Every structure is written in C-alpha cells, then in structure tokens.
Structure 1
C-alpha cells in the first residue's frame, strides 16, 4: 500500500492578503529606490569635484543598492507568476538569482575599490574635506530613510533581505566617510579618505559573501541551515509504526519555503494514511515544513528481519542519503 502526499500548507496558495502584502512590499521598495537613485546621481558629481574616492565608493555602493532593489522588484513580479509548463515551481527562484547577483556585484566592486584605495594610500590626492563631510551627512539621512522603507517590506525573503543589507552597509559606510571627511577638514590628513574606502570594502565583502553563500546553498539544494536532515530522519523513525525512513531530502524552493520528501516504511499492520498524517503534523509543528511529499509503504519481511542492518537492497536500487531505522539508527 502506497500513499503519496503533496501539501503546500498554509502558504501554498497566494490569497488576497498575500497579494496586498506583495503590493505593499513593491511600494516600499520603489520609494527606497527613488531616494537612493536621486542621491547617488548627486554624489557621483560631488565625489568627482571633491576628488574623494570614499564618496565615489559610496556612490558605487549605492548603485548596487539601486540594482538590488530593481532586481528585487523584477524578481517579485516573476515569482508571483503561476507554475506552468516545465517550470513546475513557477519562477520562485528568480529572487535567489537576484540575491546571488547582488552578492557578486558587491564582491566585484569591493575588489576594484580596494585596489583604488591602496593606490591612494600610496599617493594621496588633495581631498575637499568639507564637501566629503557634508555629502556624507546627507547620505546618512538618505540611507536611514531608505533602510526604514525596506524594513517595512517582508525581510523573510532573501531577495528583500539582500536589498536591506545593501542599504544597511551603505549607512555604515557613510558614517565612516563622514568621519574621514571631518578628519581631512580638521587635519588635512588626505589618506583618511582611502582608509574610509577600505572600511567600506570590508563591509561590502562581508555582505556580498553572505548573500552568495546563502543563495549558493539554495541552488545546490542544501538543507536550510537551521534544519538537520539526520535529526529529522531520527524524529520521523521514532514514530511507533515506522520501521525505516530513507531517500530523505530537505531543500529550499525559495526564501522561507523549505520542502521535504522521503520514502517511509511502516509495520504491515499499520495504516499508511494515518502514519502519513502523523508525520506531516510532526514536520509542520516541529520543523515548520509544510511542503512535503511522503511515500508510505508497508515494510517487506526482509526489512523487518534486518532492522539494524547497515544495508537494505529490498526497496531502492540506488538509495540516496542515509537510512534511518527504528531502534539502532543507521546513518
């Protein structure tokens, strides 16, 4: 007897409330984009006039902020499209592509700015400290407003969180630039501008690496960082009627949407449907996994006889991953 179940859970269907939330997210992101793009254009001009690499690096960082928000808005549109044809999950992973693009952009820009900053440390140009200081103060205000706008959107999305991290890093960068401008203004120490740029680079690399790492985990079908497949397998096989769990896979469809599939063998006297429902409740309430596909079968005699065996050839010709058995678990 086999029972297969595919449950999207509470979040599986986009209802009216979800649509309203998505519209609100897009509105807040659009406001932040307008603020950033407007200030960035002015900052590039001032940075060139002041000969400040710190201001130009901040403007470059703001360009990635703007791109990240544009990608977030495009990805939201794509992710909202229904599944059809060969895209059985729809285009939900468009937002993960967006997050990865954001991360790579930060890393590449950081490398270029680091090179320029080191060059300026060796041979510092004249820097207009007053212009740098005043522009950086204005940048702090703009970034505070933009960060507030994005914080109103749904940050459980890796895509929106990526845009938020861009803005937050830029805020810290502007604080560093303001300090550098003040130092140049009061002491004439022009290398402070390049030092501030290197601080910006460190922040960019940190944020970029985090985004690339998290999006990479999703593309490589890794289990979400907060979920341990072995622990989940042990929890499922602890059910009184379950004899074995194998081919257990846990992955992420898109931000906040973990999925799980597994082949479950139960005692011949057990009701497969009842066991499946019990396991689904366990996954939902203990692990917040609502998108599940469980194939539940009665265990054949040979499996019952070798419950503690390390190998079982009875069911799967090419088993994937560890086998969890009732009693002495095998991993």
Structure 2
C-alpha cells in the first residue's frame, strides 16, 4: 500500500464521476470574465472620481472654501485607491510561475487591505480636522459649497450604482465601493452642512457632520481590513466549522481515520483544504482522494482539496 496519495480534486472530478481527479490552481472558468467586468467598472469610477476631484478643488479655490479643498484631497486619495485596485487586477491576472505556483491572486487581497487601511487613516484625519475646526471655526461660503456638493452626490451615486452591479464576492471591488460610499456620505453631509450654514450661519455644522460620516465609514473599513488580514494569516474561512468537516469525512465508510485538516482562503473567493486520511479495511486507497474531495465540495463548498492517504493506524482519532 502506498504511504501517501497526493491527488487533489478539481473541476474534472466536479463534472465527471470517474476514478481520476484533476489538479488545477486556476479559479473556475467564470472568474476571469467576472474579474475583467469588475476591473472595467472600477476603471469607469476611477475616471469619474478623478475628474470630480479636480472640479471640487477648483470650486474650493474659487469660493475660498477650505472644506471643499480638503474633500478634494479626500477624493484624490480615493482615486489613488481605485488606481491601486486596477493595478492589482492586472498583476493578479499574471500566470503562475516556478516561484509563485499559486499565481498572484493574493495581490488583490493586499490591495483590499490597503484600501481598508487608507479608509481608516482618512477617518483619523477627518476627526483630527473636525477637532481643529471646533476650536477655530473656519468661514465657509455655503452657496458654492452646496452647488459642488450636489454635483458630488450625483457623481458618487452613479459610481456606487456601477460598482454595486459588479460581483460583490471580490474584496477589491468591495473596497472600491466602500470608498465611493464614503464619498457619497461625505457629499450628503456637505449638502446638509451647506444648507444648515445658509439657514443659521453655524459653521460648526461642517465638522459635526464630518465626524458622523467618519463613524459610518470606520465600521465598513474595519470589516474590510479584518477580512483581508484573516486571509493573509490563512485563517479558517468565515462560516466554516472545522470539526463538522472532519466529522463528515470520518463518517465515510471508506475512511478509518482523519486528521491534519487545514482550510484557508487563497483569495476572497477561493477556498483550499488539505487533509490526511487512512483507509478502512478492504478499501482501495486510490479511491479515497476523490471520495473525500466530493464530501468537502458538496457539504462545505471547497473546490480545491489535497488528500493524503496514510497507512492504517498512523492518525489519531477513531472512525
């Protein structure tokens, strides 16, 4: 009996109930087209964001509004984040090589992490600036501020609509959408502040609403950062019960023992697992990889599994 059978399951086994299992590190056939569509959406929103940042900067300069100039910097940072996402898509599309056998998919995760981290930094800057304005209120020309803020709201609504129609399983797209939503909320806050200043003359409304927007953004930003860190740390995918997965494998009549089960996320949409099993008496060890892979695929949606078959008695735990 061989000491190990290193035969992972993949799409061939998914489509055919035969005795061999294919092995591919590439994602399913639908992913490249989905990724390309997401990249086109982000590219469109990037252009809109960059153009509006320029319009906002000019509007702030002409009106003497520091708030608009500061928000133009906010939009420019978001445009940079969107550009980073586009670069990440291009790098991630590169084929695997001898050094990086899994390819460059994790670049997308790194870009999502950078986007989330930049949002957190932005929130910190907004709060800092708001505190400074509480201490020393800044005069705001509410009329031009309102006009530019309304334009920004329309631009950001269009951008959010474009991105929301993309594949939301993509962390890179989610990061871009969070930036746009943050901009949208900022536009709403700017409109409310401008109207309030027009009616009351209270310039302190500007920093108050800025803090409220920051609180709304920080929760989503932290979620993006934490999800990316879990992927990079190769943590068990969200929602997966490791004990249930091992118990399901142990319940197969062909399996005597199961152990050394590991599952992690390669990218935000692709889960990989490895597991060691020993065959039950009378079981052909060559059939185990396919059966175990099918169990994990059907009950835990794991499409890429590496199964090692060990000699009987070499693993802990009863059948």
Q: Is the 8 A contact 2:131 2:207 kept in 1?
A: yes
Structure 2 residue 17 is matched with structure 1 residue 4: no
Please, which of 201, 226, 229 is the counterpart of residue 213 of structure 1?
A: 226
- Cα displacement string for residues 110-165 of structure 1 (whole angstroms, at most 9, x for unaligned residues): 21221110110122111111122221111111011111222233321111111111
Equivalences, count: 306
Within 5 Å, give how 1:131-210 maps onto structure 2.
Answer: 131-210=144-223
Structure 2 residue 268 is matched with structure 1 residue 266: no
State the distance in 2 between where 1:65 and 1:208 align.
13
- Cα displacement string for residues 237-288 of structure 1 (whole angstroms, at most 9, x for unaligned residues): 1212322221111101111001000111221322223332222112112111
Classify the secondary structure of the residue corresponding to 2:89: helix
Q: Is the 8 A contact 1:246 1:262 kept in 2?
A: yes
**Displacement of 1:83:** 0.7
Please, which of 233, 243, 251 is the counterpart of residue 264 of structure 2?
A: 251
Classify the secondary structure of the residue corresponding to 1:258: strand
State the distance in 2 between where 1:44 and 1:20 align.
36
Measured at CA, do residues 15 and 285 of structure 1 come closer, stay the same or move farther in structure 2, by a change above 3 Å?
closer
Q: Is the 8 A contact 2:193 2:206 kept in 1?
A: yes
Structure 2 residue 235 is matched with structure 1 residue 222: yes
**Displacement of 1:54:** 4.7
Partner of 1:242: 255
**Displacement of 1:8:** 3.9
State the distance in 2 between where 1:15 and 1:224 align.
18
Partner of 2:124: 111
Please, which of 122, 135, 138 is the counterpart of residue 122 of structure 1?
A: 135
Taking structure 2 as the reference length, the TM-score comes to 0.88
Q: Which runs of 5+ in 2 are unaligned?
A: 15-23
**Displacement of 1:292:** 0.7
Structure 2 residue 36 is matched with structure 1 residue 23: yes
Q: Is the 8 A contact 2:272 2:304 kept in 1?
A: yes
**Displacement of 1:198:** 1.0
- Cα displacement string for residues 66-103 of structure 1 (whole angstroms, at most 9, x for unaligned residues): 12221121111111111102111111100011011111
State the distance in 1 between where 2:256 and 2:66 align.
65
- Cα displacement string for residues 178-197 of structure 1 (whole angstroms, at most 9, x for unaligned residues): 11111011111100011121
Measured at CA, do residues 13 and 87 of structure 1 come closer, stay the same or move farther in structure 2, by a change above 3 Å?
closer
Measured at CA, do residues 7 and 70 of structure 1 come closer, stay the same or move farther in structure 2, by a change above 3 Å?
farther
Structure 2 residue 100 is matched with structure 1 residue 98: no
Q: Is the 8 A contact 1:57 1:113 kept in 2?
A: no
Q: Is the 8 A contact 1:43 1:55 kept in 2?
A: yes
Q: Which runs of 5+ in 1 are unaligned?
A: 301-313, 316-322, 327-331
